[in-house]
Amino acid sequence: MKRPLAAFVAGFLATLCFHQPALWLLNLAGVVSRAPYAMKAMPPFGVPSVISLSFWGGVWGIILVAALGRLRHNFILVSMVFGAVLPTLVARFVVAPLKHEAMVVTPKLIATGLIVNAAWGLGTALFYKLFTGRK
């Protein structure tokens, strides 16, 4: 599998298999009210929210591999840090304003973003290594 495709599929699957279960656990613990695997139709194409999120997880997977792809040591750890920090910051300070959402920044919201996105980074690294045979 070519690197960008492997990275996209890894990020897409990591959203479904790591990010959303982390959100589910936080929801179950009462930390967040947002439910995982949301099926609400998203504009402009009406695809379920979780599929839209997974698509963007795939795009972030390509970005992660482009940034860290040649890293030989600590790929999984650095992928978790990358996932925790960059998508969380972009979601809060770029995506929220574009969607005309309030730029609410609370410790709970930031912690939630860091946790679910670190889980995504872990999953992306593991899937990418699986797909590419990387040691």
State residue 43's pLDDT score: 84
State residue 70's pLDDT score: 81
Q: How far apart are CA 102 and CA 127, in angstroms?
A: 34
State residue 103's pLDDT score: 77
CA–CA–CA angle 8, 20, 47 (5° rounding): 65
- Which residues fall within 8 angstroms of residue 123, CB to CB, at 6 or more apart? 10, 13, 14, 15, 17, 18, 19
Residue positions counted in the chain? 135
State residue 94's pLDDT score: 92
State residue 134's pLDDT score: 74
State residue 1's pLDDT score: 62
State residue 135's pLDDT score: 66
Tokens of 22: 């982390």
Domain edges within the chain: 3-132
State residue 72's pLDDT score: 77
pTM as predicted: 0.93
State residue 53's pLDDT score: 96
Q: How far apart are CA 95 and CA 120, in angstroms?
A: 18
Q: How far apart are CA 109 and CA 126, in angstroms?
A: 26
Each of the 135 residues of the chain gets a pLDDT tens digit; together they read 699 999 999 999 999 999 999 999 999 999 999 999 999 998 889 999 999 999 999 999 999 999 997 887 899 999 999 999 999 999 988 988 888 888 778 889 899 999 999 999 999 999 999 999 876
- Which residues fall within 8 angstroms of residue 45, CB to CB, at 6 or more apart? none
State residue 96's pLDDT score: 87
